[in-house]
Amino acid sequence: MTLYADISDSGTRLDTWLAAQVDTLTRSAAARLLEHGAVTVDGVAASKSTRLRGGEQITVTLPEPEPLDVRPENIPLDVVYEDSDVIVVNKPVGMVVHPAPGHPDGTLVNALLYHCGGTLSGINGALRPGIVHRIDRDTTGLIIAAKNDTAHQSLAAQLQDHTLSRIYRCLIVGAPREDAGTVNAPIGRSAKDRKKMAVTPDGRPAVTHWKVIERLRGCADLECRLETGRTHQIRVHMAYIGHPVLGDSVYGAAVSGLTGQCLHATGLRFVHPRTGERIELSCPLPEEFLRARDKRRL
């Protein structure tokens, strides 16, 4: 991986800068890479205390992920659509999409491997077979997976050109004055807390379109359409405009009695990778979302 420092980065410690540039790196992980000689600045091995001048070329050699034993597991799935190329599932709250340190099993991937008999695309490697996009552990709703590489490539291209459309519903704290709007604000790793994302000047472009479905007591029911797909995008954008998602303990709206944030992927539209047919799918709001909404109706 090759990165370039800007003149505005002058004086920044290299380990801090790397953690801000690479989503998968914490500052401590960046420091370990530097200690092991895996980072060079203009071709010369650097230390974690190196400070940038601006304009340097930084090369990072990332280690291969440690292999996990990803096994099929007989976990019930709410299948909304399935054929020989794709499968769309209504993911429940609390389910992690793919195995990772701390979550080696019980994931959507484990369930898909069992349900699909191993017929999933291999483009994303052994840890994420079939996974085209992700939704957060405590976000519910529709997620699509590819059963072969051809389908995966088609769906990934549709994500890029917005042919694959994702529609969400969420309950937010408070209510915006307008009935609809767009948040266009770049998202990157938070400099204050590496476990969180934030709107940052050097983040990746992120666009969320929203409209008010219903104004409630102390909150509002919104429909959100993603133009991009950054980590925690809706949650970060709603918090950024002062209306965090109800129940989101990470971005400032924890609510006693709620299992997770009131955020649900309710709609999915895509062009079938084999037939070219336009597929439109939806799934109902989960019971916990409905209870939280009805409790706050005017």
Q: How far is CA 266 from CA 12, 54, 78, 238, 263, in A?
A: 43, 45, 13, 18, 9
pTM above 0.85, yes or no: no
Q: Which of 9, 136, 138, 248 is catalytic?
A: 136
CA 218 to chain centre: 27
The predicted pLDDT at position 29 comes to 78
Q: What is the pLDDT of residue 67?
A: 53
pLDDT for 5: 85
Q: Which CATH architecture has domain 168-265+290-295?
A: 2-Layer Sandwich (3.30)
What pLDDT score was predicted for residue 275? 97
Sequence spans of domains, the chain: 2-60, 65-161, 168-265+290-295
* CATH topology classification for 65-161: Pseudouridine synthase (3.30.2350)
The hierarchical CATH code for the domain 2-60 is 3.10.290.10
pLDDT score at 64? 62
Q: Do 2-60 and 168-265+290-295 fold alike per CATH?
A: no
Closest CA to 137 of 96, 99, 98: 96
Q: What is the pLDDT along the chain (298 residues), one digit of tens a residue?
A: 788 888 878 888 888 888 777 655 667 778 888 888 889 999 888 887 889 988 889 998 876 655 557 899 999 999 999 999 999 999 999 999 988 777 888 999 999 999 998 789 987 777 788 999 999 999 999 999 999 999 999 999 998 888 999 999 999 999 999 999 999 999 988 888 878 999 998 888 899 999 999 999 999 999 999 998 889 999 999 999 999 999 999 998 889 889 889 999 999 999 999 999 999 999 999 999 999 999 999 7
β-partners of residue 13 are 51
Residue 136 falls in the annotated catalytic set: yes
pLDDT of 151 reads: 95
